[in-house]
Amino acid sequence: MRVETIKHYESKLPAHDPHPYRTGAWTPNVTEVDAYDLDVIDGEVPRDLSGIYLRNTENPLFDAITGRYHPFDGDGMLHSIRFEDGKTSYRNRFVRTAGLLAELEAGGPLWAGILESPELSKRDGWGARTRMKDASSTDVIVHNGVALTTFYQCGDAYLTDPTTLAPRGVARLHHPSFAEGTTMSAHPKVDEATGELLFFNYSAEAPYCHVGVADPAGNLVRAIPVALPGPRLPHDMAFTRRFAIIGDFPLFWDPAKLAQNVHRAKYFPELGSRFGLVPRDGSGEVRWFSADPTYVLHFSNAYEEGDEVILEGYHQGAPVQERTADDTPISMFMKSLDMHAMKARRHRWRFDLRTGATREEILDDECSEFPTLHAGYAGRKHRYVYAAIGEPGFFLFSGLVRTDVETGAKSTYRFPKGVFASEAPFCPRDGASDEGDGYVVTFTTDMNEDASECQVFDAADLARGPIARIRLPMRISSGTHAAWTPLTARGIGNTTDQ
Ligand SMILES: [Fe+2]
C-alpha cells in the first residue's frame, strides 16, 4: 500500500473528550489521504467488481457552541474506495462546505447545533430550523457522474468528483419557491430508468415541503409544492414510475414551543400518518393516504402494481422513548439514536388508487434499518433488500442482512464484537443480468485491532462472511449513508487514478 498525506487538520475538540459520538468507533479523522494498491488481508478482490463506494461521515473539528454536540452536527467527510481490475484505491476528504470553511477561518464554531437554540448562531445559515450549519454530512448519492452530499435538515447539494473527491461547488437546484437555505434534504433519489434526479425539501414556511425534479444533466425542470398542515420533519422519500412519495408523520416540532422559537420534536399519534403521492410530471393534485401513526427514517423502495402503489420501509413501533425513573439526559440521548429503541421493523404499505384505502403490514419481527437495493430497481418491483442491524444502545452497525422480500428468507452476517460496519449498498457484478447477482461492500471500524477494512460480500450469501478483506490506511470513523456507482455509469470511469 502506498499512502500520500494530502492535508492535516487541527482538531479543536476537547482533550480526553468524553462524548460517546466523538470517541471509540466515532473518533473523527483529521488527516486526508490517498492510498493506492491496498493490501488484501483475506480472500480475493473480485475482478468483475468495477465502481466506487462512497460513504459520508459526521466528522467534527469543533465542539458545539455550548458543548452540547449531537453527532448529526459533525462536518461531512467522504471516504471512498475504487475497484477496477481487482485493484483498489482509497481516499478521504472533508466536504468543503461554506460553513466548514467559515469556521476554519474563524477558528471555532459559528453555528448552533441541533441540541442548541438557533439564536446562538453567530451568522445566518441554512436548514429547516434556519441559522444552522449545512454540514452536508448525512447522505451521498451519485447522479450524472457527480457525487451529491446532503444534510438531513436541508441545505445545498454539494458536488464532488467521485474518483478524485475534488469539490465541484454546489448544485444549482434552488427554486424561488423554496425557503432560503433549504434547497434539498438528505435522500434525493436517482431514477435510473429516466436518468432524473428526484429530491425534496422542508421548512417552517408554508407550504412546508417541495418535491424537485432535475433532468439527467442535473438541471432543475420542476418544483412541486407539497402542502402540509404545518412544519413537518420528513427524512426520506420514495418514488414510483409516476409518483414521488412524501410522508407526513405525527412526529414534528411542537407548535406551542415553535411559537417561542424552540424546536422540540413531539409525537402526536392521534393524528396518524399520511403519505402523499405527488405526480412527478407536475400534473394533478397530491393524493393523500392515511396510515397508522409511526415515524419512518428510511424507505427501501416503492413501485406500482395494478391499481396499487406499494411502499416498503421501516416502521417505528416507538418513535419517541418514554422517560423512566432511571433515565438521565445522556441515557435519553443514547436511546434517541438506537434503532432497537425505535423498534424499527421492515414494513409494507399498499395504497389503493381506486378506493383511496391503505393496507399495511409489518414484514419482519427483527430489527433492521438503513436499506439498500440494486439501484436499477428503485421505483420498480424489487426482490432483494440489504439492510444494517444495529448495535443495541448505539448508532453503530454490527450486522448486515439480505432479505428476499418474495419468500421472506434472510441471509445474516454479524461482525465480531467490537467491529462495526457502514451502510452497505448492493454492487452489481459487471455484466450481471439478475437483480441479485453482485456484491455488497462496506467499511469497517475495528476497535479490537484499531484498524479499518473494506469488506466485500457475495450478495447472495452474506452469512458466509466477507469474500475479500482489504486494509484501509487508518482506522476511520463510523458514519451514515453510502452509495455505489459503477464505473460504467454516465460520466464516470474516464479518469483512472491507478
Ligand atoms: Fe437517512
Across the range 49-54, mean pLDDT stands at 98
DSSP string, 425-478: -EEEPTT--STT-EEEEEEEEETTTTEEEEEEEEGGGGGG--SEEEE-SS----
Residue 78 placed within a domain: yes
Task: Give distance in angstroms: CA of 354 to centre of ligand 1.
Answer: 32
For residue 498, name the pLDDT band (cuts at 50, 70, 90).
very low
Lowest mean pLDDT among 6-10, 44-48, 121-125, 331-335: 331-335
Q: Which helix (H) or strand (E) holds 332?
A: helix 329-335
Task: Give distance in angstroms: CA of 246 to centre of ligand 1.
Answer: 14
Q: What beta strand segments (E) does 24-73 contain?
A: 31-36, 40-43, 51-55
What's the pLDDT tens digit per position in 366-407?
A: 999 999 999 999 999 999 999 999 999 999 999 999 999 999
Task: Give distance in angstroms: CA of 479 to centre of ligand 1.
Answer: 11
Task: Give distance in angstroms: CA of 437 to centre of ligand 1.
Answer: 26
Task: Give distance in angstroms: CA of 367 to centre of ligand 1.
Answer: 16
Q: Which helix (H) or strand (E) holds 421?
A: strand 419-421
Task: Give distance in angstroms: CA of 187 to centre of ligand 1.
Answer: 7
Handedness of CA 336, 184, 402, 425 (dihedral sign): negative
Task: Give distance in angstroms: CA of 411 to centre of ligand 1.
Answer: 23
Task: Give distance in angstroms: CA of 389 to centre of ligand 1.
Answer: 15
> Using CA atoms, how far apart are residues 145 and 151, in angstroms rounded to an integer?
20
- Region for residue 69 given its phi and psi (left: phi exceeds 0; alpha: psi -120 to 50; beta: otherwise): beta
Domain membership of residue 322 as a residue range: 2-486
Task: Give distance in angstroms: CA of 298 to centre of ligand 1.
Answer: 6
Task: Give distance in angstroms: CA of 481 to centre of ligand 1.
Answer: 7
> Using CA atoms, how far apart are residues 23 and 71, in angstroms rounded to an integer?
11
Lowest mean pLDDT among 332-346, 442-456, 479-493: 479-493
Task: Give distance in angstroms: CA of 453 to centre of ligand 1.
Answer: 23
Residue appearing with cell numbers 442482512: 401
Task: Give distance in angstroms: CA of 254 to centre of ligand 1.
Answer: 22
Task: Give distance in angstroms: CA of 409 to centre of ligand 1.
Answer: 25
Residue 301 placed within a domain: yes
Q: How far is CA 12 from the centre of its chain?
A: 26
Angle at 95 between CA 89 and CA 97, to 5 degrees: 165
The CATH number of the domain holding residue 380 is 2.130.10.10
At residue 127, what are phi and psi to the nearest 5 degrees? 95, 155
For residue 436, the 8-state DSSP code is: T
C-alpha distances out from residue 15 to 12, 63, 65, 459, Å = 9, 11, 16, 42
Residue 492 placed within a domain: no
Q: Residue 495: is its pLDDT beyond 70?
A: no
For residue 469, name the pLDDT band (cuts at 50, 70, 90).
very high
Residue 330 placed within a domain: yes
pLDDT for res 229: 98
Residue 447 placed within a domain: yes
Task: Give the list of residues 6+ apart from residue 407 with CB closer than 8 angstroms, or none.
Answer: none
- Overall domain count for the chain: 1
Task: Give distance in angstroms: CA of 491 to centre of ligand 1.
Answer: 26
Q: How far is CA 306 from the centre of its chain?
A: 31
pLDDT for res 497: 44
Angle at 425 between CA 277 and CA 171, to 5 degrees: 60
Residue 494 placed within a domain: no
Task: Give distance in angstroms: CA of 141 to centre of ligand 1.
Answer: 12
Task: Give distance in angstroms: CA of 480 to centre of ligand 1.
Answer: 7
Task: Give distance in angstroms: CA of 150 to centre of ligand 1.
Answer: 10
Q: What cell was used for 454?
A: 473494506
> Using CA atoms, how far apart are residues 287 and 285, in angstroms rounded to an integer?
6
Q: What is the largest CA-CA distance in the chain?
A: 62
Task: Give distance in angstroms: CA of 15 to centre of ligand 1.
Answer: 30
Percent of the chain's residues with pLDDT above 70: 99
pLDDT for res 491: 72
Task: Give distance in angstroms: CA of 465 to centre of ligand 1.
Answer: 26
> Using CA atoms, how far apart are residues 264 and 131, in angstroms rounded to an integer?
16
What's the pLDDT tens digit per position in 243-281?
A: 999 999 999 999 999 999 999 999 999 999 999 999 999
Residue 497 placed within a domain: no
Across the range 52-62, mean pLDDT stands at 98
Task: Give distance in angstroms: CA of 1 to centre of ligand 1.
Answer: 33
Taking only Cα atoms into account, the Rg of the chain, rounded to an integer number of angstroms, comes to 21
Residue appearing with cell numbers 467488481: 49
Q: Residue 457: is its pLDDT beyond 60?
A: yes
Residue 376 placed within a domain: yes
Do the Cβ atoms of 294 and 358 come closer than 8 Å?
no
Task: Give distance in angstroms: CA of 386 to centre of ligand 1.
Answer: 15
Q: What cell was used for 459?
A: 450478495
For residue 111, the 8-state DSSP code is: S
Binning the chain into helix, strand and coil, the percentages to the nearest 5 are 10, 40, 50
Q: What cell was used for 17?
A: 473528550
Q: What single-letter amino acid sits at 153?
A: Q
Across the range 79-87, mean pLDDT stands at 97
DSSP string, 206-270: TT-EEEEEE-TTS-EEEEEE---SS------EEE-SSEEEEEE-SEEE-HHHHTTT---EEE-GG
Task: Give distance in angstroms: CA of 188 to centre of ligand 1.
Answer: 10
Do the Cβ atoms of 17 and 30 come closer than 8 Å?
no
Q: What beta strand segments (E) does 292-373 contain?
A: 296-305, 308-316, 344-352, 358-367, 369-372
**Average model confidence (pLDDT) for the chain?**
96
For residue 493, name the pLDDT band (cuts at 50, 70, 90).
low
Task: Give distance in angstroms: CA of 483 to centre of ligand 1.
Answer: 12
C-alpha distances out from residue 473 to 92, 453, 465, Å = 10, 9, 22
Q: What cell was used for 77?
A: 467527510
> Using CA atoms, how far apart are residues 31 and 20, in angstroms rounded to an integer?
21
Task: Give distance in angstroms: CA of 36 to centre of ligand 1.
Answer: 30
Task: Give distance in angstroms: CA of 371 to centre of ligand 1.
Answer: 10
Task: Give distance in angstroms: CA of 247 to centre of ligand 1.
Answer: 14
What's the pLDDT tens digit per position in 131-146?
A: 999 999 999 999 999 9
Task: Give distance in angstroms: CA of 370 to centre of ligand 1.
Answer: 7
Task: Give distance in angstroms: CA of 83 to centre of ligand 1.
Answer: 25
Q: Residue 31: is its pLDDT beyond 50?
A: yes
Task: Give distance in angstroms: CA of 235 to centre of ligand 1.
Answer: 6
pLDDT for res 376: 96
Task: Give distance in angstroms: CA of 484 to centre of ligand 1.
Answer: 16
